[in-house]
Amino acid sequence: MRRGWRANRVFFFLVCMFICVLLLFGSITGRLNGIENILATPLQFISTFFNRAAQTANDFFSNFSDNQSLRRRNAELEEALARSQAELVELREIASDAVRLAELLDYVSTVQNQETLTAEVIGYDQNNLIRTIIINKGARDGVAVGMPVVTRQGLVGRIIDVTALASRVLLITDPSSNVSARLQISRAQGIVQGRLTGNLRMGLIPLEAKVEVGDVVLTSGLGGNFPPDIVIGQVTSVRQFEFELNQEAEVRSLVNFDTLEFVLVITNFIPIDISVFDQESTTP
């Protein structure tokens, strides 16, 4: 029985070989082209289907990998951009501070007989009732009540309160502020007062004094509260009243009080209280 099975295997093998030879011969001679075309159509469809599926899967995983890489790269670029922007802001602030400090240094180099202390503005209180700022210098730095505060553009105010590490400055735009002043050209004198609007007005100017728009207004030094010849501002308009004994002028300060960051405290000026002489003159 085993011999019969083996003989059948050999016979089956020989038959298969014969059929393969016939198919190969027929394919070479072209006699099987019709049958090959019929059989190739479904095989080609199946091959195309699997090729497309494989390509789609490959594209999916490739795109997924690319998306992950792009997300990581995007996150890195955003982080680098944030660092660059922070550094740019810091450099701009440093440059801006350097410009302001250079302006203060330029002012110090042009004035004589003034000892100054640079201070940074650390607080604002500029409502309609009171207009003051807080600076980061105090009694430990030699700051005392009454000392004038200036910038390169002109007079800012004077120290009214002092602690060990900070001081409060009353701005000249405060309604309670009064500064003895004079016009630079005509030398006419008057009083510059702050207004509720934050503007300045120079009053008590003699009627005969010549006042023109654009005239520079300086401190006069009268009263002993401020040293003389500090710029207060410029005249923007003049008003004369028929039955008044004096004339008034609106004054625009060259200082931008809303953006103050650094100021100078004149530390070698000691205010003089001359009211004692008024009391003595009225004593019988």
* Token pair listed for 68: 């992950």
DSSP string, 158-207: EEEEE-SS-EEEEETTSTT-EEEEEETTT--EEEEEE-TTS-EEEEEEET
- Angstrom CA distances, 168 to 118, 144, 250, stand at 15, 10, 26
List, for residues 80-134, the tens digit of each pLDDT value. Answer: 776 666 666 665 656 666 665 566 666 666 666 788 999 999 999 877 678 999 9
Q: Residue 92 has what pLDDT?
A: 64
Q: How far apart are the first and last CA of the chain?
A: 161
Instruction: Give me the residue spans of the domains in the chain.
Output: 2-57, 116-272
Report the C-alpha gap between 197 and 200 in whole angstroms: 9
If you search the block for the tokens 């010549």, which residue do you land on? 210
**CATH number, domain 116-272:** 2.40.10.350
If you search the block for the tokens 């110090």, which residue do you land on? 108
If you search the block for the tokens 């699997």, which residue do you land on? 50
The bridge status of strand 262-266 relative to strand 246-252 is unpaired
**46-50, 187-191, 195-199, range with the lowest pLDDT:** 46-50
